Chains A and B, each alone.
Chain A
Amino acid sequence: SAVISQKPSRDICQRGTSLTIQCQVDSQVTMMFWYRQQPGQSLTLIATANQGSEATYESGFVIDKFPISRPNLTFSTLTVSNMSPEDSSIYLCSATGLAGVDTGELFFGEGSRLTVL
Chain B
Amino acid sequence: AQSVAQPEDQVNVAEGNPLTVKCTYSVSGNPYLFWYVQYPNRGLQFLLKYITGDNLVKGSYGFEAEFNKSQTSFHLKKPSALVSDSALYFCAVRAEYNFNKFYFGSGTKLNVKP
Contact = CB atoms under 8 A, between A and B. Distances in A.
Interface of A: 1, 4, 31, 33, 40-43, 45, 48, 92, 94, 104-111, 113
Given A48-B100, A92-B43, A105 B107 contact: no
A42 B107 contact: yes
Given A92-B43, A94-B44, A108-B44, 14 more contacts: A40-B88, A42-B104, A42-B107, A48-B100, A104-B34, A104-B49, A105-B34, A105-B49, A106-B34, A106-B46, A106-B92, A107-B46, A110-B43, A111-B42
Contact of A43 (B34, B94, B104): B104
A94 B41 CA distance: 16
A109 B43 CA distance: 6
A22 B15 CA distance: 39
Contacts of A109: 43
B27 to A, nearest CB: 14
Q: Considering residues B44, B51, B101, which has the most beta carbons from chain A within 10 angstroms of its beta carbon?
A: B44
A33 B104 CA distance: 14
9 contacts: A4-B43, A42-B105, A43-B90, A92-B43, A94-B44, A104-B49, A106-B46, A108-B36, A111-B42
Interface of B: 32, 34, 36, 41-46, 49, 51, 88, 90, 92, 94, 100-102, 104-107, 109
A108 B104 CA distance: 13
Contacts of A45: 101-102
A109 B90 CA distance: 16
A110 to B, nearest CB: 4
Given A31-B100, A45-B101, A108 B43 contact: yes
A32 to B, nearest CB: 11
Nearest to A102: B99
A51 to B, nearest CB: 13
B46 A105 contact: yes
A42 B90 CA distance: 8
Given A31-B100, A41-B107, A42-B104, A111 B43 contact: yes
A41 B104 CA distance: 11
Nearest to B50: A104
